Structure 1
Amino acid sequence: MPVFSCADAIGGGTEPNGSEVVAVRVGQHDGYDRLVIEFNGPIPAYSVTGRSGTSFTTSPKGQTVTLGGTNGVLIVMHSIVNWTSYLGPYAFEPNFPVLREARQIENFEGYQQWALGIQGSPCLRVTTLTSPSRLVVDMAATR
């Protein structure tokens, strides 16, 4: 398994790939918390970016939302097809040791963004899994 890094991550497909988001889950594990986004096809293009603070701007409305925690992580996915087919949940408030809150802040015209409010530094392990396709973002409990 890859190591945790405090650097941003990009990956996934480069063209529209016919995938829909079918599930989003959060979980707590020994030493890290996890967010999983599941697709019904190939993983779309994505970026995962750590940031100072927990304020994010929703799209397309442009409203500012502030999540729990001390720092944030922004997950951006594009080339999502049937972007209106995802039926939720759209927000989680697990109050785990690291992941305090997760909220969908954009689901518009093939783009989907998730904002994460975390406690501590945004040091992450970003991986992809198959059968089914999943984007996995682990947040380290200690660094």
Structure 2
Amino acid sequence: MRIRRALVAVAVLIAGLVAAGGATTASAAAPYCGITWGSGAKTAGTLSGAPLINVRAGRHDCWDRVVFEFNGPVTGYSVSYGETYTDGAGQPMSPYTAGGALLSVSLRAPAYDGSHGATVPYRVGDHPVNAFGYRTLRDVVFGGSFEGYTTFAVGVRAQLPFRVFVLAGPGSHSRIVLDVAHRWQA
């Protein structure tokens, strides 16, 4: 009788450990906030003549966001982790940025228009976004605009998952949105 009780107790204990271990494994593999973006390069769209007119940032529960707004339709971008170089001169931007990792952002649209010149008040090395207090975002630095392309270096806390997408509006404007997750997994 004692052996039988001992065997039942051991079986219950093992079943509990297996169930707990399975739950732990399942929760450890679950994506953070459902994010499945990854950290690989993201590229889309074509060159546009619609000029950049604004850059701003926002905070969300699961990610930090940078929004690039254009005066017209824009679809082209290339974003990846790695060194970023100023447009035209080709100087590395890492000395001007904060954070443990650097996102190189190339927008396939100018930061100027043909009749009025610059459409944003930034000079190379300017920080158009105050990222103080953000969980992931550390810095956004303007790298210039040359031959229809505009560059930014986005400093982040670490190499984390990110996504990039295009939104139409408001009005005739469009926006390229960069979201960087706060962490990899739950």
State the TM-score, normalizing by the size of structure 2: 0.65
- State whether structure 2 residue 154 is matched by structure 1 residue 116: yes
Deviates more, 1:57-66 or 1:121-130: 57-66
Per-residue deviation, residues 113-142 of structure 1 (Å, max 9, x unmatched) = 011010012310211111131100000001
Q: 1:94 aligns with which of 126, 131, 134?
A: 131
Aligned partner of residue 142 in structure 2, secondary structure: strand
> Which runs of 4 or more aligned residues in structure 1 lie more than 6 Å from their structure 2 counterparts after TM superposition?
none
Does the CA contact (< 8 Å) of 2:39 and 2:162 recur in 1? yes
- State whether structure 2 residue 37 is matched by structure 1 residue 4: yes
Structure (1/2) with the larger strand percentage: 1
Q: What is the deviation of 1:87?
A: 2.0
RMSD: 2.3
Aligned partner of residue 105 in structure 2, secondary structure: strand
Return the alpha-carbon distance in structure 2 between the equivalents of residues 56 and 18 of structure 1.
22
**Which consecutive residues of structure 1, in runs of 5 or more, have no partner in the other structure?**
none
Aligned residues: 138
Per-residue deviation, residues 38-62 of structure 1 (Å, max 9, x unmatched) = 11111142101123xxx53323233
Which amino acid in structure 1 is aligned with residue 80 of structure 2?
Answer: T
For residue 125 of structure 1, what is the aligned residue in structure 2? 163
Structure (1/2) with the larger helix percentage: 2
Query: What are the within-5 Å matches in structure 2 for residues 1-143 of structure 1?
Result: 3-12=36-45, 14-15=46-47, 17-51=48-82, 56-65=84-93, 66=95, 67-80=97-110, 82=113, 84-88=117-121, 90-91=126-127, 92-95=129-132, 96-132=134-170, 133-143=174-184
Which amino acid in structure 2 is aligned with residue 72 of structure 1?
Answer: L
State the TM-score, normalizing by the size of structure 1: 0.83
Per-residue deviation, residues 53-105 of structure 1 (Å, max 9, x unmatched) = xx533232333332111001011123436174322354134131111001111
**Which consecutive residues of structure 2, in runs of 5 or more, have no partner in the other structure?**
1-33
Per-residue deviation, residues 3-28 of structure 1 (Å, max 9, x unmatched) = 4221211112x25x331111111111
Deviates more, 1:85-94 or 1:122-131: 85-94
Larger C-alpha radius of gyration, 1 or 2? 2
